[in-house]
Chain A
């Protein structure tokens, strides 16, 4: 790709520098603007009556007492809202055969998970709305529930949607080479394991929140929304509430954590918008923590039976597995709940060079909360299965786990190439990354220390993972399947009369530092001090159309659009400057807020230039029509995704009496292409690793057989806290992607996607001499003691 490559060497360039986030000061003063901070005149509050059972038929709803309660403004049942909301179905056309049932904001005749909203109460305060909700009696005839995803496919299992006939949502197989023949070879060692991955959820500290206003005089709906994809929600509100899309505005200001939880369509929010439209006044809904646990999407929940065949030289001959995943009673709209399984088919073993692969995924309906995309979609499962089997195979053939990786990882000079799983790969660096990891962690010394301590009865384990990470998705991800989810993003940059830049971008800020890196890119490419750049994101009325921030696309896609826009604006400015200064534009540059000669000699300030254009156009030739604003959009075109790669290692210490595992050290080496701001990237990696530690050891949505969520509080659902977390050592390898000038890939998924595999391998490394193994996450003390056979 051609482009202004010199931008990285310019005196103004902030790219690659660990600059501070300008918006941090605001948040540290308590001046963030989160949705629940919004108070509007005549605003009312919503609360929901939710199903207390996992599966049942709604016989009747008694609203009489609630109607008389103080402060009650309106009550809506599923039937009431069904007259105003078009149902939605979570399927994508390119996931052939994926099925789901039409879904409504509130349950109509049947309830299908514990926590499903049934009645909406609108009152003058949230407390009064809850008081009234407590007086509503919903008579439900309880039906047998299909909660266990493996049993849900059996012929006698309760069928959740009668029209669909059974509980199978989707079934897909990927096959390459001849895996059966490879497994049957007599020169291979075959390792076979069953892995279980518990359900967990996002636990964003700010729960889902929306304030929706409706102005009937202009038919305008404005939604203040704690979310990641404002333009997608604009489309969804418009379509399902019957509004022209241009009459819907979605504003996502400060978002208190998202991690993929806040890119989906929840009935609660649609109902809130419907109520605002019906009442003609602002309605606020902020989920409480219980509602978050019961209804924020869950993730993972997979059982995988996997096999690997490895030759005596440590080469992978074949990899095969069957994955079953439970997604709740509906496929989530509009991204679908089949994407996680699909990712697992795409990613498992993809870092390795081998020929024979077979993977099957079954996506199953069940009477639990909906499961869908969450940070590092599918990655923890794919990495734990492939690298779990590989490390075990290494031990069985007596080879070090680093050596077996070196023998199988795709060579750094082999790209572009296609993985056995069918993924187009380019610009990856598995070997360089692994080498950097080994050096950073001091691998050999750690192994020596481990052996020494083991002799003293200290049970330490070291585990690794080599991974790829999906980032920068192209339109081949969702757009091809008919979803209103943009894979392109846009950036508009204008020069104001004072010489400052205003960047308006369709990617969003949820704390990763999006606004900061856009300012870095714009300032450096254009040539002003970063303090002179103001960034706007998260408002469908004022930003270009785009996908928002998910799948680690903010820097790679939004950043590239900003780079191109800054370059285009610079060309405009230099064209005007050429006229004013009687110079050739190619002999001019912009540095430190001045138009300069290429050697840096200052000629005119940007504010003088802009004031001339804006206020004193009479001084310009009449054939010059200057525009000091530029918009560029960017999408990835050559690849479905721009993959990154990483190598990570964990060192753990196991207490065999209690089953507790302490994570002593964690090392992560990621190649996310060009690093725009190392401080922010390191923050993404560390935060991601800790989320991975959560999945590996703590977090699990525990359901009873009959579908009750048994630990839906923060006191019972364990999340990583500061005390248990290790310091995390990070190193970078930078292989810029050739798909853009900027060269940035994503960095948000790797820690969450890779850490669980490294941790499971480390625990198994500690357990192996004791004759024990564990392949279930979270690896709780009880499960470890069970693996040890002591309970």
Chain B
């Protein structure tokens, strides 16, 4: 078996072909090869959620997916959310829903997934949805506040 494989991925709208080590995970490929350092690595075993990003419309753990598995996929990282996340970004600023900012790209991904799926402004449900994303700084409450605000703002 070859140590590398050729893949083609579309990341934030831009298609790239690359030879990747078959053992390399997706988030390392995005960070180290493409220079998209917004997605972060926290635990490398799928617990902390810092590397959460969008692959073909689903939020996945970038550390639990190999780069070769993303061959042909459409990937969106925090750098590529654009207007989709504008309300969420504004609410995060307003509520100080981030401190060090390291969990934030993954937290935004999970929050965006919840909001776009039509999630309700139900604090317990939001907390449950975000419970795969670890934040050591905020205590989560401000993040829940931000997500509630976005949902209530949209429904108004």
Contact = CB atoms under 8 A, between A and B. Distances in A.
B113 interface: no
B128 A30 contact: no
A295 to B, nearest CB: 16
Contacts of A691: 136
Interface in B114-144: 123-124, 126-128, 130-144
A20 B95 CA distance: 8
Contacts of B52: none
Contact of B101 (A254, A714, A728): A254
Interface string A718-744: 011111110110000000000000000
Contact of A686 (B93, B104, B108, B142): B142
B50 interface: yes
Interface stretch (A75-83, A200-208, A773-781): A200-208
B47 A715 contact: yes
Contacts of A728: 139, 141
Contact of B45 (A31, A39, A715): A715
B78 A722 contact: no
Interface string A85-118: 0000000000000000000000000000000000
Contacts of B50: 205
Interface stretch (B33-41, B54-62, B66-74): B33-41
A257 interface: yes
B96 A30 contact: no
A714 B96 contact: no
A32 B101 contact: yes
A686 B138 contact: yes
Is the interface on chain A under 10, 10 to 19, 20 to 34, or 35 or more residues? 35 or more
B38 A30 contact: yes
Contacts of A510: 99-100
A439 B29 CA distance: 54
A127 interface: yes
A210 to B, nearest CB: 16
Interface residues of B, number: 57
A32 B94 CA distance: 18
Contact of A24 (B48, B98, B140): B98
A719 B98 contact: no
Instruction: Count chain B CB atoms within 10 A of each CB in A21, A205, A259, A513 and give the residue with the most.
Output: A205
A725 B136 contact: no
A257 B100 contact: yes
B32 interface: yes
B77 to A, nearest CB: 7
Contacts of B103: 205
Contact of B100 (A39, A256, A688, A690): A256
B142 to A, nearest CB: 6
A683 interface: yes
Given A256-B102, A725-B141, A30 B78 contact: yes
A186 B123 CA distance: 53
A240 interface: no
Contacts of B89: 25, 28-29
A511 interface: yes
* Max chain A Cβ within 10 angstroms of own Cβ: one of B105, B132, B135, B139: B139
B37 A37 contact: yes
A21 B93 contact: yes
Contacts of B92: 24, 28
A256 B101 contact: yes
A394 interface: no
A722 B140 contact: yes
Contacts of A723: 124, 127-128, 130-131
Given A127-B23, A256-B101, A513-B99, A30 B47 contact: no
Contacts of A715: 45, 47
Given A683-B99, A728-B139, A721 B134 contact: yes
Contact of A689 (B77, B104, B139): B139
A768 interface: no
A721 B44 CA distance: 17
A36 interface: yes
Given A683-B142, A727-B123, 8 more contacts: A28-B108, A205-B100, A258-B100, A511-B137, A513-B99, A682-B96, A714-B134, A722-B128
Top 10 nearest A-B pairs by Cβ distance?
A30-B38, A27-B101, A256-B102, A511-B100, A511-B99, A30-B78, A686-B139, A690-B139, A723-B131, A37-B37
14 contacts: A25-B93, A29-B79, A32-B37, A32-B38, A203-B136, A206-B100, A256-B100, A256-B102, A513-B96, A686-B142, A713-B47, A722-B130, A722-B133, A723-B131
